[in-house]
Amino acid sequence: MAGLELLFSSVSPDLSCPQDALVCYLHWKLISHGYRCLGTGDQPGANERKSEMLPPGWNADKELYTMRYRAKDDSRDLLLKGIMVDGSIILNVMEPKSQKVADLTLKVTDYVNPGHLADFDKQDPMGPFAVGGEDLDPFGGRSGGMIFDPLRSGYRNPGIDPSSGLPTRLPPGSVPPGARFDPFGPPGANRSGPNPDHLPPPNYDDMFM
């Protein structure tokens, strides 16, 4: 996460609560995506310029954070607001021109260690936007996710008969070894079972039973 430690070090003396550290991270995230900060508040101020740094007074209000951003190529503006409610921060990002809005609510202590605000090495081990990453990128090498491979589950592979559901067995070589193949019917469909007439109802002589 290039640049985050430098940013954190530059504002660490001003971090006085967990949400300060989280807003610092969110600022860095916008900077890394090509935005620059213009300043605080809803309205432009005098002599504003685009900067990678957090603006003066960015954390003066611990209950409401408001900052404005502009893309490096001036193609888009963003208004970021963070509102604290019962230990969570409600993030609201709006594009003023289109009035498009995105919202996200994060429990601050899920991402920030309140006991080590000034220690970069003990903060934000997982970014707030990594939630659900195992499902969004199931092959990224992380654990979890909703894609389940039964061949790598750790359990003994019981073996699958590809001929299940067919009246005869498939010829040898029809399914290459290790190929992913869905059988034609449920497992064990060709196994011999009990005669359907072995327990007919009493005094019932229907030959088709």
Segments making up each domain of the chain, as ranges = 4-113
Q: How far apart are CA 141 and CA 15, in angstroms?
A: 34
Share of the chain above pLDDT 70, in %: 56
The reply to whether CATH 3.40.1000.30 applies to domain 4-113 is yes
Q: Which amino acid is at 82?
A: G
Which has the closest alpha carbon to 89: 111, 71, 72? Answer: 111
Low-confidence ranges of the chain (pLDDT < 50): 125-126, 129-158, 209
Answer for the pair 93, 79: CB distance below 8 angstroms, yes or no.
yes
10 phi/psi in degrees, rounded to 5 = -70, -25
- 74-82 contacts at long range (C-beta below 8 A, 24 or more positions apart): 77/38, 78/30, 78/35, 79/42, 80/26, 80/30, 82/19, 82/23, 82/26
pTM above 0.75, yes or no: no
